[in-house]
Amino acid sequence: MKTIIMAGGKGTRIADVAGGLPKGLLDVAGKPVLVRQIECLAQQGFCDIIVTIGHLGEKVQKELGDGSAFGVNLTYYREEFPLGTAGALAALKDELSDDFFLINGDLVFDLDFQRFADFHRKNNALVTLFVHPNNHPYDSELVVTDRYDRVTGWLGREEEHYAYKNRVNAGVHLLSPDAIKDLKQVKKINLDKELIASLIDTGRVYAYNSTEYVKDMGTPDRFEQVNRDWLSGKVSARNLHVKQKAVFLDRDGTVNEYKGFVTRAEDLSLIEGSAQAVAKINDSGYLAVLVTNQPVIARGDCSLEELELIHDRLECLLGEQGAYLDAIYYCPHHPDGGFPGERPEYKIPCDCRKPNPGMILKAAEDFNIDLSQSYMVGDSIRDIKAGKAAGCKSALVRRPDSDVSPEVLSVYDSLLDFTADLFGG
C-alpha cells in the first residue's frame, strides 16, 4: 500500500517561524515533522511513499533523500504550479493500483494505520476520512455523517450550528484507486469540495472516528502546542496500540439537566459546569465516553433519528464551551411492555442496558481501554453497578432524589466536583 504525503504548500501562516524552511522540515521535538510522519508509517510496514513537493521542494528532497535512512522508499512528484489538495492525484493515478493513504504534510500524529485500513476495507469504501472531535467546532468545517458513518456532506463555518456531530477532517485519508479513475487533467483540485463531494452519492465515502492524536502545526501557536504535546508523551499515548483510560459518563442528570425522558433536542440543557468538567477530561488524556440508557426508543416515544438529533445538540452545546465527547453509546432497549406505540423489536432483555456493562465493554473493545484505570460516573445506582461490573472505578453524582447506597464510596455534588478531585483545579 502506497502513501502520498502532500508537502507542496507554501506555509504562509507559519512563515515567521519557518525561517526559510518548508514547513514539513520544521523541527518537532528534535526531528522534522516529515521525518516524524515517515517513521510512524515505516514502523507499521508502510514503506512505499510518494512526497509531493513544490515551494522549496528541493530542500525537502535534499533532507529526506531516497528514504533509505528511514527504511523506506521515497519518490517525489514536483508540482510545477499549485495543484491544491488533490490535483497531483491525476498525475500519479497510474502508480496507484491499490488503496493508498493521502496525508497532509503539516500534521503531527501517531496513528494505528492498520486499524484505519481495516475499517476502510470492511466498509468497501471508495474514500475514508480520518475524523475526530475538536474543542472549537463552532468555527470549523464539520463532516456530516449518518449513523452508519457514511459521509453525507459538510457543515461549513458560515452555516448555523444548532446540532451536529463534532467531527472534523484531520487531514489523513484512505482512497481506493477507483475514487480517482475519472481524473483526467492535472489541475488544481480541492479534495473535499470537488473530488470527495462528487463521490458521496455512491454511499461509499466513510468517516473513521478515532481518538488518536492528529494536529496540524501550520500556525505558530499550533507549532508550539504540538512540540509540548510530543515532549509530554501525549502524542504517542493516544495511539490505539496503547491502552487508553476513559471517564464513562451517564447522560441525564450527569451532563445535562435531568428532566425525565428527553424526547426533543430543544428540551436539552447542560448542567452548569458540566462542559467545563468534560473539557477537563479532554485535557487530561482520558477519553470522555457517554454511555446512556435510552428506553424512549423501545417505548416509541422517540425515533432513532430524533435521538441522533438530541445527541448532536448535546455535542453542539458542549462544543460551544470548548468541550467534546470522544464517543456516544446508547442502549435503545427496555424489557417491559405495555406502552402505547412501543417497538417490539427493542422490548428485549440485553447486555447493554445499565446496570449491565455492555456499552462500557463495547467502548473498551473499540478504543482499547484499560477498564481498571477508568471511571464510570453517573447519577444512579445503575451507573455504579455497570461500572463495577465492567471493572471500572465508579463515582456517583448526587441528584436531590438520588438513592445513595452505602456501597457507593465516592459521591459528588456535580461532575465538575468529580473532575476537580481527580485532576485538580
Residues acting as catalytic residues? 250, 252
- Tell me, letter by letter, the H, E, C secondary structure of 297-310: HHHCCCCHHHHHHH
Contacts of 243 (CB under 8 A, 6+ apart): 368, 369, 370, 373
Q: Kindly compute the dihedral angle of the four CA atoms of residues 168, 170, 172, 175, in this order, to the nearest 10 degrees.
A: 10
What cell numbers appear for 111 in the block? 496513528
Phi first, then psi: give them for residue 261, nearest 5 degrees. -80, 120
Amino acid at 58: E
Pair type for strands 327-331 and 411-412? unpaired
**Which DSSP category does 398 fall into?**
P
Are 87 and 188 within 8 A, CB to CB? yes
252 DSSP assignment: B
DSSP strand pairing (151-155 vs 142-145): antiparallel
Q: Is 25:65 a contact under the CB 8 Å cutoff?
A: no
Best CA proximity match to 325, nearest among 292, 294, 289, 279: 289
Contact between 207 and 151 (Cβ < 8 Å): yes
Residue 53: its H or E element: strand 48-53
Beta strands (DSSP E) in 165-300 are 168-175, 205-209, 214-216, 246-249, 287-293
SS3 for 138-157, per residue? HHCCEEEECCCCEEEEEECC
Which of 366, 388, 365, 363 minimizes the C-alpha distance to 375? 388
> Is the CB of residue 360 less than 8 Å from the CB of residue 367?
no
310 class by beta-carbon count within 10 Å (0-12 exposed, 13-18 middle, 19+ buried): buried
Identify any residues that bridge with 287 across adjacent strands, giving them in sequence order: 246
Which residue's entry shows cell 449513523?
147
Q: Which three cell numbers stand for residue 258?
A: 435531568
